[in-house]
Amino acid sequence: MRGKKRTGDTLPLFPEEPATSGAASPTGGYADRNAARLRRWAEQGIFFGTSSWKYPGWKGQVYTRRYPSQKAFQRDCLAEYAQLFPTVCADFALYDFPDPGQMAWINDQTPEGFSVSLKVTDRITIKRYPSLPRYGKLAGEENPDFLNSDLFAEAFLRPLEKLGRKRGVIIFEFSAFAPNTGVDRERFITMLDGFLSSLPRPYAYAVEIRNKEFLTADYLEMLRRHGVAHVLNNWTRMPPVIEQLTVGGVLTAQFTTVRALLKPGRTYQQAVEMFQPYEEIKEENPELRAGLVETARRCVAEGKQLYAYINNRAEGNSPKTIEGILDTLDRYPEEKL
């Protein structure tokens, strides 16, 4: 989602005069404080990034180049983002299958060593389409392609070949299953077990659940058998990451994914209204930060990779949230919070 352009005495992101150079403006700002730290953690297999990247609210932090227009910003800002962060989560793939041309463009825009994780298109992960306008005539209907492994392999995985070695984690985000879907914990585990058994290898797969009652030992053991990661998520109706970390065997693969999305109890729309246009931290969440710090420490100690994705809706500005987490890791490198 794009941030809103500010008016009044706030400097515009897109100046009326054309840019005269693609070079970043000299500053002692965000990149200077954090670039080396992000690289240092990436060298240890701890990759910090954000959920999506096209946010004008990050002007003066992530984005210091001068873009002549919004169109130019949308087209070119990923290249600047990727000079700083080692990874990003492409949330847009949730809404439609990836386009091969778009994947090739992302590959061309980013340096070697950069990785792009993607949420799997909801045509694969929705059991019954919600009654929302964007689903049109499908709203409220059963989804015949739920966990369709053939469709997933052809329509989702094949376009990702254009990413080459920059393909990151493939995240199956399952919305909360309501009682009318007929999916309880046992059925979910059985269905997911069969689906994961049929998937092509090797890919880095991860599963995000939003029914807290599904987070049980048999669910985690099933993921472990497949080498699939459980996504540690801060979300409205899930236990926070710091609590999920206390569940035995919760790190089910040789890599872990964290998605810092929302404060428990807060809806997406409430967070949007509180935090947009995502220019600054509006509300620090110490519990969320502690969860990410502890996850990073555990992954280093256990020799696991970590892909940590922070959303603007977590505190108001995901780059600054990442900076706060890096600060804590620097101050207390070995202590448990």
Mean model confidence pLDDT for the chain: 90
Q: What is the DSSP string of 200-223?
A: -SS--EEEE---GGG-SHHHHHHH
Q: Supply angle C-alpha 311, 39, 302, rounded to 5.
A: 80
CA distances, 85 to each of 46, 48, 81, 239 (Å): 11, 7, 6, 28
Q: Hey, what CATH topology would domain 39-331 get?
A: TIM Barrel (3.20.20)
Give me the pLDDT at residue 167, please.
97
Looking at the DSSP assignment, which residues form a beta bridge with residue 128? Answer: 142
φ and ψ at residue 149, rounded to 5 degrees: -70, -35
| Whether the bond into 240 is cis, omega within 30 of 0 | no
Give me the pLDDT at residue 335, please.
55
The structure tokens listed for 116 are 């792009």
Could you give the CA distance from residue 108 to residue 75 in angstroms, rounded to a whole number? 12
Contact indicator for 164, 107 with CB cutoff of 8 Å: yes
Average the pLDDT over 50-74 and give the result: 95
- Provide the percentage of residues in the chain whose pLDDT is more than 90: 83
Give me the pLDDT at residue 25, please.
36
Give me the pLDDT at residue 260, please.
98
Could you give the CA distance from residue 4 to residue 117 in angstroms, rounded to a whole number? 25
Looking at the DSSP assignment, which residues form a beta bridge with residue 245? Answer: none
Q: What is the DSSP string of 107-125?
A: HHHS-TT-EEEEEPPHHHH
| Whether the bond into 202 is cis, omega within 30 of 0 | yes
CA distances, 303 to each of 136, 233, 252, 263 (Å): 46, 21, 13, 29
Give me the pLDDT at residue 137, please.
87
**pLDDT by residue (tens digit) across 318-334?**
999 999 999 999 987 66
SS3 279: coil
CA distances, 227 to each of 156, 283, 285 (Å): 20, 36, 31
Average the pLDDT over 18-32 and give the result: 53
pLDDT at 256 over 70: yes
pLDDT at 4 over 90: no
Contact indicator for 194, 226 with CB cutoff of 8 Å: no
Could you give the CA distance from residue 215 to residue 302 in angstroms, rounded to a whole number? 22
The structure tokens listed for 214 are 């599904």
Type and span of the H or E element at 197: helix 185-197
**pLDDT by residue (tens digit) across 210-250?**
999 999 999 999 999 999 999 999 999 999 999 999 999 99
pLDDT at 8 over 80: no
Residue whose token pair is 């009044």: 8
**pLDDT by residue (tens digit) across 284-298?**
999 999 999 999 999
